[in-house]
Amino acid sequence: MSLVTLTINNKQVEVEEGTTILEAAKLLNIKIPTLCHLNLHDLKMVNQTASCRVCVVEVEGRRNLAPACATPVFNGMVVKTNTIKAIKARRTVVELLLSDHPKDCLTCEKNTNCELQALAADLGVSNIRYEGKISTYPIDNSSKSIVRNLDKCILCRRCETVCNKVQTVNVLSGVDRGFETVVAPAFGLPMTETSCTFCGQCVAVCPTAALTEVNNVPEVWRALKNKDKYVVVQTAPAVRAALGEEFGYEPGTDVTGKMVSALRSLGFDKVFDTDFAADVTIMEEASEFVHRLQHGGKLPILTSCCPGWVKFFEHQFSDLLDVPSTCKSPQEMFGAITKSYYAEKMGIDPKNIMIVSVMPCLAKKYEAARPEFGKDGVQDVDVVISTRELAKMLKEAGIDFNSLEDENFDNPLGESTGASVIFGTTGGVLEAALRTAYEWLTNSTLENVDFEQVRGIEGIREATVKINDLDVKVAVAHGLGNARKLLEKIRSGEANYHAIEIMACPGGCIGGGGQPYLKGDIETLKARASAIYGEDKKKTIRKSHENPEVIKFYKEYMGEPYGEKAHELLHTHYVKRQKM
């Protein structure tokens, strides 16, 4: 591709032809304000419609201002980003947006995290000169995961981009015209009546509070005050790699010990680790894989830990419902184990145990409410909060997170291996399963447990692992758009694999919809993944089937992995759903 030279604010820069003014300015460290622009994890899937016009600049030789995010450069172009004309135009755009926006900033869910609020401050907007009709719409709180408040929508179309182009779920789009335009499901359907997977990526990219998570914090506070309830908390592996960001730590800082200490300070009766259940998941999933491999079962086996991904294939690939593993997710396995094995061990009525999950994922809120994840009217998991919600609780409680001493999880459901920790990043579930399946199939010790070939940040990765005389072909995908590509190849017979791992969110759980806001930053994703692999390396035991508490659990209570009792307690079924 040919190169072109342009000048921005009297500074020359050479870039590839087709580069936008905004991208060129970044190379010169020149900041141009944006709102609708979104470069999601270097996918370069941005809103090229330039819907907000906040990034307008002056281009020599043109009468009208040009949107920097959608204007390609040309050789000899001269750009001014900081002229009075451009600044006034940006300020006018923001004032017009604010004229049709609620004024409840102090009590808004995105207060201090709102990009519109920050932009207004940066542009010095201290009053709104325009008055007129204000849009009002009913709030859609039909789901357990996501709340839609169209009163706060600024029509940036970011959610539409991520839902349609990145995740390929195609639930959100522009509806109606002019002042009546909204971004919503077709026919104004509530989220629960659509094919929404509740992955939460729309929430992650929304610049305002038009899309937020269902707030479960009050429910957790009530539980902690209830003396009749034995309140247990479990924490997913990805949480520890991101929670510190809410308290000023650099991305990729592992705060496991402080997190445990903080949860104990909040008053939970027991602080357990979802990683214990992740090790159990490998016992079941690896057993299922080996069983399919040795008995001519359906291949490839697909991992089933991600509820967003599960709902995606229930809607989009219901003809392949016999392909995914029947294992429950680690969150649900933990709930089932706590309300059976642990309850019996401690002599507690399961109905008096309340399980709170801290998850990086908004779909986990939906998953916990699925009717198949419970027994005798008792759900496996009672309430789910996100990483962001946990940070909110700690701040509400006045806990000085930075000064906390490291503490360990409670036992027995706090014991885990390195294999379970890596569940938090893309490729981790498959790698953990391979560590165990390899030893079970070869009856030999796996000396090097690092399957580097399934690691990385590429959307789709393929590898071949030699196990005995068999070349085991595996694939990893993160992001539902990449999952679609893989599944369509399987459906058509174009590709053949033995095992596939799929996660709905970019980077896997580390990029979940409930994590501290990323704003498309791929370096933060990489840092979080590095923290996950770092904890894995520090573990004395790095294979799930060697976890002593898991071995004890099977010996004392469960029996054989993938056996009759395991199927009753730890496995599930899937539902054929319509595309809506």
Span 147-158, pLDDT tens digits: 999 999 999 999
Across 125-134, 152-161, 270-279, 456-465, least confident range: 125-134
> Which residues have CB under 8 Å from 482's CB, separation 6+?
459, 460
Active site amino acids: 285, 288, 305, 325, 364, 367, 372, 509
For residue 47, the model assigns a pLDDT of: 60
Q: Locate 101 and state its tokens.
A: 């926006």
Residues facing residue 302 across a β-bridge: 324, 500
Q: At a CB cut-off of 8 Å and minimum separation 6, what does 354 contact?
A: 223, 226, 229, 230, 231, 232, 382, 383
336 or 39: which leads in pLDDT: 336
pLDDT value of residue 43:
61
Percent of the chain, pLDDT > 70? 98
Q: pLDDT grade, residue 169 (50/70/90)?
A: very high
Residue pair 339/353 in contact (Cβ under 8 Å)? The answer is yes
3-state secondary structure of 50: coil
* Segment 377-391, tens digit of pLDDT: 899 999 999 999 999
Query: What CATH topology corresponds to 1-134?
Result: Ubiquitin-like (UB roll) (3.10.20)
Mean pLDDT estimate for the chain: 95
Q: What is the CA radius of gyration of the chain?
A: 25
What is the rounded CA–CA span in Å between residue 416 and residue 373? 23
Domain boundaries, the chain: 1-134, 217-570
Give the Cα separation of 337 and 345 in Å (integer): 11
The answer to whether the 1-134 and 217-570 domains have the same CATH topology is no
- Distance, in Å, from the CA atom of 322 to the CA atom of 300, rounded to the nearest integer, reads 10
Read off the pLDDT of residues 440-485 as tens digits, 9 standing for 90 and up: 999 999 999 999 999 999 999 999 999 999 999 999 999 999 999 9
Range scoring the smallest mean pLDDT among 96-105, 193-202, 517-526: 517-526
Q: Residue 36 and residue 205: Cα distance in Å, rounded?
A: 10
Phi and psi at residue 10, in whole multiples of 5°? 70, 15
As a whole number, mean pLDDT of residues 499-503 equals 97
pLDDT reported for residue 159: 94
- 17-43 average pLDDT score: 89
pTM: 0.94
- Cβ atoms of 175 and 183 closer than 8 Å: yes
Q: pLDDT band for position 376 (50/70/90)? A: confident
Question: Does domain 217-570 sit in CATH 3.40.50.1780?
Answer: yes
